[in-house]
Structure 1
Amino acid sequence: MASKQRAAAGNKVLVVGPSWVGDMVMAQSLFIALKAGDPARRIDVLAPAWTFPLLERMPEVTSSIAMPLTHGQFGLAERIKLGRQLRSEAYTWAIVLPNSWKSALVPFFANIPLRTGYIGECRWGLLNDARNLDKRQLPMTVQRFVALGLPKNAGQPPAYPIPSIPTDPARQAAVVEKFQIKAGGNILALCPGAEYGPAKRWPTEHFAELARKKIADGWQVWLFGSEKDRAVTEEINQQTGGICVDFAGRTKLDQAVDLLSLATAVVSNDSGLMHLAAALDKPLVAIYGSSDPGFTPPLHAKAQVVSLHLDCAPCFKRTCPLYPEDHPDHTRCLTGISPSRILALLPE
């Protein structure tokens, strides 16, 4: 368990957190709302250990508790064991953000008296404050999260606080030294990956053209992504003559946060890095293809969302369901967004 300075005892909440970076950023809106309702409230978050560097930067969170199972693992015995271990914490309330049946097991076996969540996978019994999700009233993920922290009869949709991740000059200096980079001047951060699939990825050649134009204007271009995105970022860098700084697969989550905090502007697909950039108060252009900007938009006034709003979108598919890859209209929801359109939205 990773713990910060202890919060006042009494009203102790365990939040079962999501397993995706973007969803965890949006979950901060719930944490902020819970603290606003009771500043003395203690909030602990049960989540994958890799999310800890992000949770540690959220001042509303007291402790992070590691979920010992990877995404998709059932692990009944491990969940029962963890729940029983948490009984000594005497939590008064659990809020379960994922909709899976297994995600409600730990609060149940921890004997937490109030267990709130959406009905999801028929979780009657595991949850004793089971809510029906009206997707028309709560079209946004962040609204659904925040609503669980309010009474069942509260007005809908709820107002939601904007996630905010503070920057730290000492951490920024540390990543500059570690990666031996130049942090001055204008920096464009490009986030060309998307874990969900290619139907959420703006074309590589479009990212490369955008990079070339900003480099010609004297900007640095930094490329971000996970190990899975390296083929994409390497192709972009190759098309720009190898003068981008490619961080894909080279950074831990905390380092990626600190590097993004140094950027002048960010262009991203709908991804976890997009939500991080918004929470870091960065001018952001977010590109949407198969996903819905009304469902998981970047939560910041500086964010500009670009979508063609085609009749076939949002389809929420991982790959284009209408046309094969060699068809000229394949993923036209993304290929139809020109680099010049994105360039016009960036600072000069």
Structure 2
Amino acid sequence: MNGMPHRERIVVRCPNWLGDVVMTTPALRALRRAKPKARIVALLPPPLVPLLEGSEWVDEVWPLASRGEGGFRNWWGDRTRIAAERFTLGLAIPESVSSAWLLRAGRVGRVVGFARDPFRRALLHDVLPAPESWGRRRLVSRERFALRLVEAAVPEARSVGSPDLRLTLGVTNEEEARLDQALRDEHAERSGWTETPPVVIAPGASFGSAKCWPPESFAALADRVAGRGHPVVLIGAPGESARVQTVSETMKAEATVLDGVLDLGALKVLLRGARALVANDAGARHVAAAFGVPSVIFFGPTSVAKTADNLDRIEVLETAHDCRPCYRRTCPIDHRCLRGIPVEVAEEATERALGGGAV
């Protein structure tokens, strides 16, 4: 295989959410450092593949056809491709039955992971014990969750002293070109951003509306940021157009609107060059953290405990209510957790994120 029949081959079934994939990078780094000569392949849902393009921690990133349309035929294609590689070790990071089943069906020599479901337990070769402190809901940062799995499966990956939990992403020349093309398509360019980098505002969240600070509040904050001379870029993923449009139309100031036109590769480039990010607790904030970009993040139905690492450049805005964290996609009551955060508080946090100067 690949001219190296005895080379160790490792497949990593990565998470299905953008932020969780970014938070897996410390584990991938530890795995690569422990196994520098191994062939490491990451499996991702197709839209998330650009996240790990340009990464030095994996040799290849394979899109999972079975995560899209096509049913059993696509699943069988994924299974066949995995089986042909004859992987010696498989790390099933998602705690789903399907992730373990795909690796077992793909004839991976040893499939390892955590398990809460009895069917998943039966599919794993090695079921890793989860610390009691995590609880049933796994209230531990995703960085530590994935790193614990790698260290248990590959003892050489265990760190001495404090673990290295830094987030890291790479960028390719092709991704640079894709951002430039997206800007040209919107009659914009980033030439002026060298001296005055933009403040990127991401008002949506694919998880659901419960995660989102009100659009009228985002618009008011964006106006204040733009009024102080900072270029403002509004971004939104497919499916977030209505929210992005509401913010754009409510704003009085000018903004560059990149609504559903950026793939994740272009998003990496945009955030790498940003002055700051203002967003909900969604995927973009983890990408920004990987590039050390200061951020203001709104937490509503989710708990910061699951993302408690890599917060040194993040202003966390949240409120104290008995109903949170609820992890609901839509709020059944009055959305008090996020509606209770005033624009003035967000403005002060943005000022701090920008380095103490006036917003």
TM-score, length-scaled by structure 1: 0.87
- 1:95 equivalent in alignment to 2:91: yes
Confirm or deny: 8 A CA contact 2:171 2:265 kept in the other structure: no
Do the aligned partners of residues 158 and 8 (structure 1) sit closer, same or farther apart at CA in structure 2, a change above 3 Å counting? farther
CA distance in 1, matches of 2:245, 2:98: 38
Aligned to 1:146: 147
Which of 47, 50, 53 aligns to 2:47? It is: 50
CA offsets 1:87-136 (integer angstroms, 9 cap, x no match): 33221110001122111122112222211011243213321111243462
Question: In proportion to residue count, which structure has more helix?
Answer: 2
CA distance in 2, matches of 1:234, 1:201: 14
Confirm or deny: 8 A CA contact 1:80 1:109 kept in the other structure: no
CA distance in 1, matches of 2:3, 2:172: 22
The within-5 A match list for 1:157-196 is 159-167=163-171, 171-172=175-176, 175-176=179-180, 178-179=182-183, 180-182=188-190, 183-184=192-193, 185-196=196-207
Do the aligned partners of residues 236 and 282 (structure 1) sit closer, same or farther apart at CA in structure 2, a change above 3 Å counting? same
Aligned to 1:302: 313
- 1:37 equivalent in alignment to 2:34: yes
Aligned to 2:59: 62
- 1:111 equivalent in alignment to 2:115: no
C-alpha deviation, 1:66, in angstroms = 2.0
C-alpha deviation, 1:334, in angstroms = 0.6
CA distance in 1, matches of 2:222, 2:34: 45
Do the aligned partners of residues 261 and 298 (structure 1) sit closer, same or farther apart at CA in structure 2, a change above 3 Å counting? farther
Once the two structures are overlaid, the 10-residue window that deviates more, 73-82 or 126-135, is: 73-82
The within-5 A match list for 1:240-255 is 240-241=251-252, 243-255=254-266
Confirm or deny: 8 A CA contact 1:80 1:106 kept in the other structure: no
CA offsets 1:22-49 (integer angstroms, 9 cap, x no match): 1111111210111222322321011122
CA distance in 2, matches of 1:118, 1:162: 23
Once the two structures are overlaid, the 10-residue window that deviates more, 306-315 or 295-304, is: 295-304
Q: Percent identity?
A: 25
C-alpha deviation, 1:292, in angstroms = 0.5
- Aligned CA RMSD, in angstroms, stands at 2.9
Do the aligned partners of residues 68 and 166 (structure 1) sit closer, same or farther apart at CA in structure 2, a change above 3 Å counting? closer
Confirm or deny: 8 A CA contact 2:201 2:233 kept in the other structure: yes
C-alpha deviation, 1:205, in angstroms = 1.2
- 1:288 equivalent in alignment to 2:304: no
Do the aligned partners of residues 229 and 81 (structure 1) sit closer, same or farther apart at CA in structure 2, a change above 3 Å counting? closer
CA distance in 1, matches of 2:107, 2:162: 29
Do the aligned partners of residues 20 and 158 (structure 1) sit closer, same or farther apart at CA in structure 2, a change above 3 Å counting? farther
CA distance in 2, matches of 1:53, 1:151: 28
C-alpha deviation, 1:284, in angstroms = 0.9
CA distance in 1, matches of 2:52, 2:6: 20
C-alpha deviation, 1:318, in angstroms = 1.5
CA distance in 2, matches of 1:173, 1:85: 31
The DSSP-based 3-state class of the residue aligned with 2:42 is strand
C-alpha deviation, 1:303, in angstroms = 1.7
Amino acid at match of 1:181: E
Aligned to 1:127: 124
In structure 2, list runs of 5 or more residues that go unmatched: none
CA distance in 1, matches of 2:38, 2:162: 20
CA distance in 2, matches of 1:75, 1:291: 32
The DSSP-based 3-state class of the residue aligned with 1:151 is helix
Aligned pair count reads: 336
C-alpha deviation, 1:286, in angstroms = 1.2
The DSSP-based 3-state class of the residue aligned with 1:142 is helix
